[in-house]
Chain A
Amino acid sequence: MQIVKFPVKVKLKKFSDLIFFSQLDLIHLLARALRRTNLPIYFTQGFHPRVKISFLSGLKLGVEGQMDVVFYFREKIQPQDMVRELSPQLPKGLEIVEILS
């Protein structure tokens, strides 16, 4: 059964202590942050399901900046609701600065 996924695209700002963390670290960190919310997370299908997150742009280790990230959900949700639920779960140094779609 193919489950439809609903993307939400945001601009994330990386600064302060989080500049030391790699893209791979961020994927894990964001997946765990999402799991701490009650949002209807979309999981990849297959033997080892993961929280699906896509980075449309990246940042080098050690620098501050912004990147575009897509989160996916099983149901249609309001991007504002997602931001409200997810933001308190983000560590200092990571902030959603803009909803892109």
Chain B
Amino acid sequence: MENNIPLTTIQRWMQSVIEHPGTNDEAWNSEQAQKELPFDEAYANVLPSKTLTPVERIGIYRKMFFLRMTESMAIDYPGVKNVLGEFEFDRIVAEEYVKKFPSHSYTLNHLGRYFPQFIQETDLRNKAFLYDLSRLELSITNNMDAEESPIVHQQEIASVQPDQWEHAILIPIAALEMLEFDHNVCEYLDAVIEEVTVPEIKNERTFVVVYRKTYRTYWDILSSQQYFLLSALVSRKTFSESIALLVEQFPDSQEELQQKLFEWFNEWVSSGYFSKIKLR
């Protein structure tokens, strides 16, 4: 005979138990779980095995859930994990982050999307550094999945006539993002990835371009002037507008800038930052 607990009730109950941090007992007795199914009814509806109680059987799913969440987040955020330490990282992800931002996506790749926001809203030691580092790590993760774009080659650049440059607009590749930080996040993350001693956490204005070339993701540090110019270019300002803005922003370095401009530009083209030149 069929007992009549609706499918949706069983599922809402089981999900609330799986997602509840803490012990099995706390999860089964949580307000949310009790709201779906009172303990006794839920207990009677999960069959014991010869060796495991209903609580232990659902406990297998609970453990796997938190392991999957913490492992998935650790892949995206090795730097943040290193700052917090494994225990604290796992605790924060399991007890706080996935509760606040449960996965609504078909893929675990999206699980970490709100981690910088979460860090900003949470009371943590080294919070400002962690916020910067998490933004860098999220940008790197997103970069790996961004659309592939064709790239502009040096020959195309060479074929642009001098009078065409003034109005030329450079279209960046899809897999390029520019970020500003107040800490030495690149240095820190590189050390974590290379498994060498991490540097001390420092306040340090840092300008970064995250980009992909031949399906590999890179993050390069730029000077403030480079960052300013590249930001202008990728925001679709014309070549001459971008240079004018740069000179206006850094009036004291005008001569030096003129010397360096083409060197930078060549480097950026060969790094594959641009997918197209639009000429008027």
Asked if A and B are interacting partners, one says no
Please report B residues at the A interface, Cβ cutoff 8 Å.
Answer: none
